[in-house]
């Protein structure tokens, strides 16, 4: 069975129908009714819980008590807050938390729970267009991929996971959601169910990754599975589906074991795949489609291309697309988005993706 997430601790007054906590629960219900993704809802709950706890420490328990100066004070608190490691909260995380808060107060205003929206003019922190901190070279990726002992069922599974991440560039939750029937060996594609924005898509996958997935399904998965078989592609040591946090811990452990002086988890394979394909001359618009980006941080250009064309692009530019390396030809990209735009967008999503 799939591991259930622990419920978030209660903060605020659950018995006050006009309190922040009760209104936050109504807001979450509002999102569920409108078919928001569970990931979005979870991030909303976490963001609101943090604010409600901060407000309760200052005897602020109702929406009507919250003003713009109070929200600005909370924003300053987020800026100066430190994680247990002593590191500050990333600006991307600060911005996401404040966006959830703005959505909450917009909802309160529409429900006439407050006379005006104190968060309407709250200025969000700017996100720097910085390149990824940790990107692996082709040689470094191969080193990480070679670490698992493929004679062991669990490590054969891990090798297949990493090959899929590197070949397709899919996100952590997309990897976790894969089912056996989503891998099409004949067409060399992967069907992504309800990716980011609750959108389905089909992405190419290389021969080498398919080889390792095939080995895993034939040799390791039957040893790991505890009936009944619910169809999940990846099976844990306990015989069922795997939690999202596990993927981050497991992939990060392999990157650390490689001793490259770089850190990362699932998203580092996405970063590395995108960077290497860009360096090989892949058209930025095709790469956007492969990665499931409707837009980059500064570019709203989105070109629909066929899966067949994407497979051709993937095979031409991905260094591990085929079992046997073939000479690659390069072309000059002729597209309006820039590589910096795409890589900055990847960096902005990395913290959310790896949890």
Q: Which of 173, 208, 232, 270 is catalytic?
A: 270
Indicate which residue of 100, 102, 196, 286 is catalytic: 196
Contact 342, 284 (CB under 8 A): yes
Q: Which of 100, 157, 172, 293 is catalytic?
A: 293
Active-site residue, from 32, 83, 199, 302: 302
Is residue 196 annotated as a catalytic residue, yes or no? Answer: yes
Annotation marks residue 129 as catalytic? no
Selecting among 267, 271, 311, 318, the annotated active-site residue is 267
State the Cα–Cα distance between residues 316 and 326, nearest whole angstrom.
9
Give the lowest-confidence range in 105-119, 125-139, 262-276, 293-307.
Answer: 293-307
How many residues are present in the chain? 355
- pTM of the predicted protein model: 0.62
1 has pLDDT over 70: no
Task: Give the DSSP letter of residue 90.
Answer: P
H helix runs in the chain, sequence order: 20-33, 38-56, 68-80, 91-110, 138-145, 153-168, 172-176, 207-215, 221-224, 244-257, 266-279, 284-291, 307-317, 339-353
**Identified catalytic residue from 62, 171, 286, 311:** 171
In order of their start, the domains of the chain are 20-110 (1.10.150.130), 138-353 (1.10.443.10)
What tens digit of pLDDT does each residue of 272-321 get?
998 899 888 888 888 888 888 765 442 232 233 446 666 777 777 788 77
Report the percentage of the chain scoring pLDDT > 70: 80
How buried is 121 (Cβ within 10 angstroms: 0-12 exposed, 13-18 middle, 19+ buried)?
Answer: exposed
Q: Among 160-164, 278-282, 297-301, 346-350, which range has the highest average pLDDT?
A: 160-164
Is 81 a catalytic site residue? no
- 254 catalytic? Reply is no
| Other Cβ atoms within 10 Å of 133 Cβ, number | 12
Residue 293 catalytic? Answer: yes
Residue 234: is its pLDDT beyond 80? yes
171 catalytic? Reply is: yes
DSSP 82: B
- Determine the Cα–Cα distance for residues 145 and 35; give it in Å rounded to an integer: 37
């Amino acid at each position: 069975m799939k591991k259930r997430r622990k419920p978030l601790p209660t903060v605020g007054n659950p018995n006050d129908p006009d309190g922040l906590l009760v209104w936050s629960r109504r807001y979450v219900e509002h999102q569920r009714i409108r078919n928001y993704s569970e990931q979005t809802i979870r991030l909303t709950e976490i963001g609101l819980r943090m604010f409600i706890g901060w407000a309760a420490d200052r005897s602020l328990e109702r929406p009507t008590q919250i003003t713009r100066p109070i929200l600005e004070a909370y924003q300053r608190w987020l800026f100066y807050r430190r994680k247990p490691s002593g590191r500050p909260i990333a600006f991307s995380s600060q911005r996401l938390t404040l966006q959830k808060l703005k959505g909450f107060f917009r909802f309160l205003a529409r429900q006439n729970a407050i006379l005006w929206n104190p968060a309407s003019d709250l200025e969000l922190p700017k996100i720097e267009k910085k390149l990824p901190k940790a990107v692996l070279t082709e040689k470094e990726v191969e080193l990480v991929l070679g670490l698992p002992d493929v004679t062991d069922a669990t490590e054969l599974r891990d090798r297949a996971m990493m090959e899929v991440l590197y070949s397709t560039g899919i996100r952590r939750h997309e990897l976790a959601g894969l089912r056996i029937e989503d891998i099409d060996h004949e067409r060399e594609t992967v069907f992504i169910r309800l990716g980011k924005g609750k959108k389905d898509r089909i992405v190419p996958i290389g021969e080498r990754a398919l080889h390792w997935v095939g080995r895993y399904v034939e040799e390791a998965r039957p040893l790991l599975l505890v009936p009944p078989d619910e169809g999940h592609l990846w099976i844990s040591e306990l015989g069922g589906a795997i939690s999202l946090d596990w993927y981050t811990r497991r992939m990060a452990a392999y990157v650390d074991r490689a001793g490259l002086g770089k850190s990362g988890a699932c998203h580092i394979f996405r970063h590395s795949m995108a960077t290497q394909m860009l360096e090989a001359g892949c058209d930025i618009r095709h790469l956007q489609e492969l990665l499931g980006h409707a837009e980059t941080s500064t570019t709203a250009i989105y070109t629909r291309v066929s899966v067949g064309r994407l497979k051709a692009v993937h095979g031409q530019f991905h260094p591990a697309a085929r079992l046997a390396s073939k000479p690659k030809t390069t072309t000059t990209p002729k597209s309006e988005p820039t590589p910096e735009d795409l890589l900055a967008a990847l960096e902005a999503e990395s913290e959310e993706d790896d949890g």
